Amino acid sequence: MDIGGTLIAGPAKGPLKGNITVPGDKSMSHRSIMLAALADGVTKIEGFLPGDDNFATAAMFEAMGAKVTWLNDEKTALTVEGVGLFGLKEPENVLDAGNSGTAARLITGILAGQDFHSVLVGDASLHTRPMQRVADPVRLMGAEIDGREGGNKMPLAIRGKKLKAIDFVSPVASAQVKSCVLLAALFADGETTVTEPKATRDHTERMLPLFGQAVERIDALSVRLKPCGKLSAPKETIQIPADPSSATFFAVAASLVEGSDVVLNRIGINPRRDGWRRVMADMQADLILENEGKVGAEPVADIRVQATTLAGMKVNPQDIPDAIDEFPVLFVAAALSEGTFILDEAEELRVKESDRIATMVAALQACGADIEEKPDGAVIHGKKSLKGGVTVDAHGDHRIAMAMAVAAQKADAEIRIENAAAIATSFPSFVELAQRIGMNVRWETS
Ligand code: S3P
pLDDT in tens, 60-73: 999 999 999 999 99
Q: How far apart are CA 157 and CA 119, in angstroms?
A: 4
> Is residue 135 one of the residues assigned to a domain?
yes
Residue of minimum CA distance from atom 16 in ligand 1: 174
CA 105–ligand 1 middle distance (angstroms): 9
**What separation, in Å, do the N-terminal and C-terminal C-alpha atoms of the chain show?**
20
Q: Do 94 and 47 fall into the same domain?
A: yes
Contact status, residue 352 vs residue 395, Cβ threshold 8 Å:
no
Active-site pick, 96, 123, 243, 325: 325
Q: Using the predicted structure, report yes or no on whether residue 3 has a pLDDT greater than 90.
A: no
Contact status, residue 182 vs residue 215, Cβ threshold 8 Å:
yes
Q: Which amino acid is at 395?
A: H
Decide whether any atom of ligand 1 lies within 6 Å of the 175 Cβ: yes
Contact status, residue 275 vs residue 321, Cβ threshold 8 Å:
yes
Check whether the bond before 11 is cis (ω within 30° of 0).
yes
**What pLDDT sits at residue 4?**
81
Q: Which amino acid is at 255?
A: S
Which ligand 1 atom lies nearest to the CA of residue 324?
Answer: 9
CATH number where 408 lies: 3.65.10.10
pLDDT in tens, 293-332: 999 999 999 999 999 999 999 999 999 999 999 999 999 9
Q: Do 294 and 169 fall into the same domain?
A: no
Decide whether any atom of ligand 1 lies within 6 Å of the 353 Cβ: no
CA 287–ligand 1 middle distance (angstroms): 25
- As a whole number, mean pLDDT of residues 401-415 equals 98
Q: Do 379 and 433 fall into the same domain?
A: yes
Q: How far apart are CA 267 and CA 292, in angstroms?
A: 10
pLDDT in tens, 43-96: 999 999 999 999 999 999 999 999 999 999 999 999 999 999 999 999 999 999
Helix segments in 125-200, DSSP class H? 132-140, 148-151, 175-185
Which ligand 1 atom lies nearest to the CA of residue 325?
Answer: 9
Decide whether any atom of ligand 1 lies within 6 Å of the 53 Cβ: no
Decide whether any atom of ligand 1 lies within 6 Å of the 25 Cβ: no
Q: Is the Cα dihedral 138, 143, 149, 154 positive or negative? A: negative
Local confidence band at 1 (pLDDT 50, 70, 90 cut-offs): low
Total domain count, the chain: 2
Decide whether any atom of ligand 1 lies within 6 Å of the 28 Cβ: no
CA 324–ligand 1 middle distance (angstroms): 8
pLDDT in tens, 206-233: 999 999 999 999 999 999 999 999 999 9
- As a whole number, mean pLDDT of residues 233-237 equals 98
Give the count of alpha carbons within 13 A of 238, CB side only. Answer: 33
Decide whether any atom of ligand 1 lies within 6 Å of the 425 Cβ: no
Q: How far apart are CA 28 and CA 163, in angstroms?
A: 25
**What pLDDT sits at residue 265?**
98
Q: Using the predicted structure, report yes or no on whether residue 2 has a pLDDT greater than 90.
A: no
412 is catalytic: no
Q: Do 427 and 439 fall into the same domain?
A: yes
Domain boundary among 208, 229, 250: 229
Decide whether any atom of ligand 1 lies within 6 Å of the 102 Cβ: yes
Residue length of the chain: 446
Task: Give me the domain span that covers residue 79.
Answer: 26-229
CA 319–ligand 1 middle distance (angstroms): 14
Is this model's pTM higher than 0.95 or not? yes
> Is residue 376 one of the residues assigned to a domain?
yes
> Is residue 190 one of the residues assigned to a domain?
yes
The vertex-32 CA angle with 212 and 51, nearest 5°, equals 175
Q: Do 221 and 86 fall into the same domain?
A: yes
Local confidence band at 423 (pLDDT 50, 70, 90 cut-offs): very high
> Is residue 236 one of the residues assigned to a domain?
no
